[in-house]
Amino acid sequence: MTLAPPIYRLEKTTHFYADKQVLDIADLEIPQGSITGLMGPNGSGKSTLLKILAFAMRPTSGRVRFKGTPRYPFSSEISGKVTLVTQKPYLLKRSVFDNIAYGLKLRHTPRGLKPRVQGAMAEVGLDFDRFAFRQWHELSGGEAQRVALAARLILQPEVLLLDEPVASVDAQSAALIRTASLAARKNRGTTLIITSHDLPWLFTCTDTQLTINNGALFATGREIVIPGPYARKERGTKAWTRQLDDGQIIVLPAAASAEKTAVIQRKHIRLTRPEETGAASDNRILGTVQSMYITGQPNEVMTTIDAGGVSFMLGMTSDRSARLDLQPGVHITLEFSSADIFWQ
Amino acid sequence: MDFIIDGFIKAFFLLIHLDPATMSAISATLKVSTIAILISLVLGLPLGFALGYFTFPGKRHIKTLVDTLLALPTVCIGLIIYALISSQGPLGEWNLLFTLTGIAMGLTVLALPIVIAITAATVENIDPELKLTLVSLGAGRHHIVRTCLWEVRYGILAGVVTAFGRVFTEVGIAMMVGGNIKYHTRTMTTAIALETNKGQFADGIALGIVLIIIALCVNFCLSFLRKQ
């Protein structure tokens, strides 16, 4: 028995806007039927990656394999199979019905149009009688987002890419978008890749999460990015530092290039109460628990600790979290050795 | 002041009694304007779309050229067309001088840059999300172009109205190329110019009012289409 190839495989993929590199992915595989969360600060390359995965643009270099075969924009083999909902979805200047039916009409599928539009609207929680014949400008932000999602779901795509789907919607719309996304995977095996700054929302609807920083990907939960700016520790030494907003300093190893990003694996970070005596680590950074939320994994709590403007997102069991008496607002010390930090 | 009131009364009678000279001028004006607008749309829409949508070397220079053509005085266009179609010109053997076709050619040169410039500017301002949306819905290149044009139809309609207003009220080209021949190439505007020169202000005002009424009707029709 042979294993199904991953739905996506990116090989040595880079992308530049003019001279600025915005994406640098050595290798990425997305399994079929998975829901992947993509996190990262603004300008980190999330939207660019989604556009490349949507075959809306070619990367500057590298290849995007779809089910094992390299594919390119406007390739007929991926038309309608991969679809993207952008951050500010564009609704065509026509009714909700016509917006949702547009993709099907392109495929000359006029038969059974109404029940299919009704079905797609139901999936995103929009009442057909109330909304179908409203014009594009008669919708709220959340309703417009759901219409855009329904316009993709009606195509029954193999891959659904959602770029910040809950950035400007209310809690009800966010919950409906989550339900519709999960139902697409459950009912049709759709693969989803979702970007969001709303981490609790993202963790509740994704299986795995990736962090993107300066165009480079990291598997969240295993690696934590310490973003720049970095500075040389002292003249004549090879070590570098990262001064945090509150004045604390993280000691970093020698950098191969100032363009690289400092990364540490989660397992090398030890959490201790501030009153405990420090271990031999050269980095003891005081942070504050910002937020805690349960993830889709059983018994796992994701804790975000802010240390002078840098976020450390650490997953742990609820027992360990209880032992450390973690709760939002509590101070906690992060201990790690500069030798465990690497540049990527 | 009396001649203004006389003008209004006379305009009413000219229209009610379907005065042959007035009807001929209206017909000539509508014919040349419609032909010029249709040709400008057929040529200008794809050219304007290409100029606004694609990026290519020399695009900036072409845009500057089109913008310059927008400001081209109508007498210059009249002069160029006259030179081209007069008996000594390269198109002299086609016998287009003092014909409605000749006027329509000149008006097309007048309207074409307007249609190209407004279409290009409208297409350039298309929300970048639109193309991304269409690609992600599985639209091919042909559908993308069609849907983009449909999405900016109101902007292009504004261009058509502007171009129509310009050709409908144009006098220089019609006078130079058409020759202002009664029942043949006399348009509303050349008739107004002639009546005013003759001191027949009331006739001139009457024709001016008819011209404004027709322009209003055309704009109402376009406004109605926009609402649809």
Which CATH number goes with the domain that contains B66? Answer: 1.10.3720.10
Q: Do A89 and B139 touch (CB under 8 A)?
A: no
The pLDDT assigned to A1 comes to: 46
Interface of B to A at Cβ within 8 Å reads: 127, 129-130, 132-133, 135-141, 143, 147, 150-151
Does B140 sit within 8 Å of A74, measured CB to CB? yes
**pLDDT attached to residue A296:** 67
Which residues of chain A make contact with B135, given a CB cutoff of 8 A? 54-56, 73-74
Q: Does A151 touch chain B (CB under 8 A)?
A: yes
Q: Which domain holds residue B11?
A: 2-227
Q: What is the pLDDT of residues A17-73, one digit of tens each?
A: 888 888 988 888 899 999 999 988 888 889 999 999 999 889 999 989 998 888 888
- Report the DSSP beta bridge partners of residue A264: A224, A341
The residue among A50, A81, A90, A137 with the most chain B CBs within 10 A of its CB, best to mutate, is A90
Helix (H, G, I), strand (E, B) or coil at A92: coil
Interface test with A, best of B136, B147, B152 (most A CBs within 10 A): B136
Q: Where are the alpha helices (DSSP H) in B86-140?
A: 100-124, 128-136
Beta-carbon separation of B136 and A86 below 8 A? yes
- Alpha-carbon distances of A290 from A304, A330, B125, rounded to whole Å: 5, 8, 42
The runs of H, that is alpha helices, within A107-159 are: 113-123, 128-131, 141-153
**CA-based nearest residue to A342, from A243, A235, A257, A247:** A257
Q: Which of residues 98-117 of A touch B (CB under 8 A)?
A: 102-103, 106-107
CB contact under 8 Å between A90 and B132, yes or no, is yes
What CA dihedral angle connects B71, B75, B76 and B81, to 10 degrees? 120
**pLDDT value of residue A52:** 92
**Using one digit for the tens of pLDDT, what is the confidence trace for A106-129?**
877 667 889 999 999 999 989 999
Rounded CA separation A248/A259 (Å): 22
pLDDT above 90: residue B35: yes
pLDDT at A256: 63
Contacts of residue A80 in chain B, CB cutoff 8 Å?
137-138
| Domain total in chain B | 1
Dihedral sign for Cα atoms in the order B90, B91, B95, B100: negative
**Residue A255: per-residue pLDDT:** 74
The CA distances from residue B157 to A49, A285, B41, B193, in Å, are 37, 63, 11, 30
Query: B178: which DSSP letter?
Result: I
Q: What is the pLDDT of residues B121-142, one digit of tens each?
A: 999 999 888 988 998 888 888 8
Query: What tens digit of pLDDT does each residue of A136-193 get?
Result: 999 988 899 899 999 999 999 999 999 988 887 788 888 888 888 889 999 999 999 9
Q: Which of A86, A122, A295 is nearest to A205 (CA)?
A: A295
**Do residue B137 and residue A102 have CB atoms under 8 angstroms apart?**
yes
| B227 CA: distance to closest CA in chain A (Å) | 12
pLDDT of A250-274, one tens digit each? Answer: 888 887 666 778 888 888 888 888 8
- Strand pairing category for A82-85 and A270-272: unpaired
CA dist A3 and A138 (Å) reads 48
Rounded CA gap, A248 and A242, in Å? 9
Sheet holding A61-66, edge to edge: A20-30, A8-17, A61-66, A69-70
In this predicted complex, what is the ipTM? 0.73
With the C-alpha atoms ordered B85, B86, B90, B92, is the resulting torsion angle positive or negative?
positive
Task: Please name the residues between 59 and 98 in chain A that touch chain B, using a CB distance below 8 Å.
Answer: 73-74, 79-80, 82-86, 88-90, 92-93
Domains of chain A: 8-216 (3.40.50.300), 224-343 (2.40.50.100)
Residue B194: Cβ-neighbour burial (10 angstroms; 0-12, 13-18, 19+): middle
Indicate the residue of A79, A86, A152 with minimum beta-carbon distance to B129. Answer: A86
Residues B2-7: contacts with CB under 8 Å, at least 24 apart: B3/B201, B3/B202, B3/B205, B4/B201, B4/B205, B6/B202, B6/B205, B7/B201, B7/B202, B7/B203, B7/B204, B7/B205, B7/B206, B7/B208, B7/B209
Residue A19's contacts (CB-CB under 8 Å, 6 or more residues apart) are none
**Of residues A237, A260, A241, the one with CA closest to residue A251:** A241
Closest C-alpha to A21, from A259, A185, A205, A239: A259
Give the span between the Cα atoms of B14 and B21, in whole angstroms: 9
Does the beta-carbon distance from B133 to A152 stay under 8 Å? no
Range in A216-230, B5-19, B151-165 with the lowest mean pLDDT? A216-230
Contact A106 B133 (CB under 8 A): no
Asked if A37 and A208 count as a contact pair (C-beta separation under 8 A), the reply is yes
- Percent of chain A past pLDDT 90, that is, above it, reads 27
Which residues in chain B have their CB less than 8 angstroms from residue A54's CB? 132, 135-136
* Res. B228: pLDDT tops 60: no
> Chain B contact for A54, CB < 8 A?
yes
Average of per-residue pLDDT across B155-162: 85
pTM score > 0.90 for this model? Answer: no
Which chain B residues touch A85 with a CB distance below 8 Å? 136
CA separation for the pair A111, B6 (Å, rounded):
64
Pick A106's closest partner by Cβ from B130, B137, B151. B137
pLDDT(A104) > 50 = yes
